[in-house]
Chains A and B, each alone.
Chain A
Amino acid sequence: MVFEFPNFVPALAEIFVLTMACVVLIVDLFLTERNRVITYLLSQATLLGAAVLTVSLHNNSTELTFSGGFIRDGMGDVLKVFIYLVVAVVFLYSREYLVVRKLFKGEFFVLGLFAVLGMMVMVSGHSLLTIYLGLELLSLSLYAMVAMHRDSMPASEAAMKYFILGAIASGMLLYGMSLIYGATGSLDIGVIADTLRMSPGDDMVLLLGLTFIIVALAFKLGAVPFHMWIPDVYHGAPTPVTLFIGSAPKIAAFAMVMRLLVDGLGPLHVQWQDMLVILAALSIVAGSVIAIAQRNLKRMLAYSTIAHVGFLLLGILAGTENGYAGAMFYVLVYALMTLGAFGMILMLSRAGFEADEIEDFKGLNERSPWFAFVMLILMFSMAGVPPFVGFYAKLAVLQAVIDAGLVWLAVLAVLSAVIGAFYYLRIVKYMYFDKPGDESALQSNFDMRATISANGLLILGLGIYPSGLMALCVTVLR
Chain B
Amino acid sequence: MSIEPVLFYIFSAVLVFAAVMVIAVRNPVFAALFLVLAFFNSAALWLLLEAEFLALVLVLVYVGAVMVLFLFVVMMLDINLTPLREGFIKYMPVGLVVAVIMLLEIAVVVGPENFGLDQVAPPPRHGADYNNTAELGSVLYTVYAYPFEIAAVILLVAIVAAISLTLRRRPQTKYQNPAEQVLVRREDRVRLVKMEAEKAGSAEGAEGD
Q: Which residues of A contact B (CB under 8 A)?
A: 1, 3, 6, 18, 22, 25, 66-67, 69-70, 105, 107, 110-111, 114, 117, 121, 127, 129-130, 133-134, 136-137, 140-141, 143-144, 147-148, 150, 179, 182, 203-205, 207-208
State the Cβ distance, B154 to closest chain A Cβ, in Å.
Answer: 5
How distant is A8 from chain B, measured CB to nearest CB, in Å?
Answer: 10
Partner of A130, one of B108, B147, B154: B147
Which of B150, B151, B161, B168 is the one whose CB lies under 8 Å from A141?
A: B161
Further contacts, 6 of them, CB under 8 A, given A1-B139, A110-B160 = A107-B164, A137-B150, A144-B160, A144-B165, A182-B115, A182-B120
A114 partner residues in chain B, CB cutoff 8 A:
153, 156-157, 160
* Residues of B with C-beta under 8 A to A18: 153
The residues of A that contact B151 with a CB separation of less than 8 Å are 133
Task: Pick the contact of B142: A3, A105, A121, A150 (CB < 8 A).
Answer: A3
Once the chains are docked, how many angstroms separate the CA of A182 from the CA of B145? 23
CB distance from A357 to the nearest CB of B (A): 29
Q: Dominant SS at the A interface?
A: helix
* The 7 A-B residue pairs with the shortest CB-CB distance in the complex, in nearest-first order: A144-B161, A66-B146, A107-B164, A3-B142, A133-B150, A67-B143, A208-B109
Query: Nearest-CB distance from B155 to chain A (Å)?
Result: 10
Counting chain A CB atoms within 10 Å of each CB, the highest count among B108, B120, B139, B144 belongs to B144
**A6 in contact with B164 (CB, 8 Å):** no
A148 adjacent to B164 (CB under 8 Å): yes
> Quick check: A204 and B109 within 8 Å, CB to CB?
yes
Listed by A's residue number, 20 A-B pairs whose Cβ atoms lie within 8 Å are A1-B139, A3-B139, A3-B142, A69-B147, A105-B164, A107-B164, A114-B153, A114-B157, A117-B153, A121-B150, A127-B147, A140-B154, A140-B161, A143-B161, A150-B168, A179-B109, A182-B115, A203-B114, A204-B108, A205-B109
- Given A147-B165, A204-B109, A208-B109, decide whether A111 and B157 contact each other with a Cβ distance below 8 A: yes
Residues of A within 8 A of B108 (CB): 204
- B113-134 residues with Cβ-Cβ distance < 8 A to A are 114-115, 120
Q: Please determine whether B146 and A208 come into contact, CB atoms closer than 8 angstroms.
A: no
B48 at the interface (CB under 8 A from A): no
CB distance from B49 to the nearest CB of A (A): 15
Contact between A130 and B150, CB atoms less than 8 A apart: yes
Bound-state CA distance A433–B70 (Å) is 58
When C-beta atoms are compared, the residue in chain B nearest to A207 turns out to be: B109
Which residues of chain B in 77-111 are interfacial with respect to chain A, using CB atoms and an 8 Å cutoff? 105-106, 108-110
Q: Does the CB pair B150–A134 fall under 8 Å?
A: yes
Q: Taking CB as reference atom, which chain A residue is nearest B143? A: A67
Bound CA–CA A6/B115 (angstroms)? 35
* Contact status A67-B146, CB under 8 Å: yes
Asked whether A67 lies within 8 Å of B144 as measured between CB atoms, the reply is yes
Minimum C-beta distance from A6 to chain B (A): 7
B139 touches A141 (CB 8 A): no
A208 with B105: in contact, given A3-B143, A133-B150, A136-B154 (CB under 8 Å)? yes
Nearest CB in chain B: distance from A54 CB, A? 18
Chain B residues whose C-beta falls within 8 Å of the C-beta of A179 in the assembled complex: 109-110
Q: For the complex formed, measure the closest distance between the CB of B194 and the CB atoms of chain A, giving whole angstroms.
A: 43
Chain B residue numbers with a CB within 8 Å of A70 are 146
User: Chain B residues near A143 (CB, 8 Å)?
Assistant: 161
Nearest Cβ in chain A — how far from B200, in angstroms? 59
Inter-chain CA distance A66–B156, complex, in Å, is 21
Query: A140 vs B106: C-alpha distance in the bound complex, in angstroms?
Result: 29
Residue of A nearest to B162 (CB): A144
Give the distance to chain A from B51, nearest Cβ to Cβ, in Å.
Answer: 15
Residues of chain A within 8 A (CB-CB) of B120 are 182
The answer, yes or no, to whether B158 is at the interface (CB within 8 Å) is yes
Q: Which residues of A contact B143 (CB under 8 A)?
A: 1, 3, 67
Assess whether B114 is in contact with A66, with CB atoms less than 8 Å apart: no
Q: How far is the CB of A155 from chain B (nearest CB, A)?
A: 11
